[in-house]
Structure 1
Amino acid sequence: MEYPINKGAGNPIEFKGLKSQYLFIFAGGLVAVLLVVVILYIAGVSQWICIPLGILSGSLLVWLTFRLNAR
């Protein structure tokens, strides 16, 4: 029985153009943004402040991560 050879073995991880180190920064940053928004909401900050803060910081994180990846 023959098995196909994985031609991508040894190559760095890449997802939608993000290389591995930036992929980890991106994922960790999104988790951090989510945690900050949840903690602020539980602490009693208005949802009208938490939601835009989450959207803006998430958008900034996406833009910054892809910009760093393009370098």
Structure 2
Amino acid sequence: MKTLLMMRRRFRDDESGAAMVEYSILVGIIAGAAILAILAIGGWVSGRFAGLCTNLARVAGTTCDSAAGTGS
């Protein structure tokens, strides 16, 4: 009987599963934030290149395709 009570107390006091869940949630939040940051920076850079291509085409009087990265 005493062994059963000790096993129950040990099971009740074990928090390793809760810590693993907390760390998993934290890793998920960090990964999501990193993905959103990468997408936002990628969109910003793409917009800057499109604007640069448009300005160069207007000044030089040539054509520019920012999506393909070509111009003449």
| Rg larger in structure | 2
Does the pair score TM above 0.5?
no
TM range (shorter): 0.3 to 0.5
Q: TM-score, normalised by structure 1?
A: 0.43
TM-score normalised by structure 2 residue count: 0.42
Higher relative contact order (CA 8 A, sep 6+): 1
More helix by percentage: 2
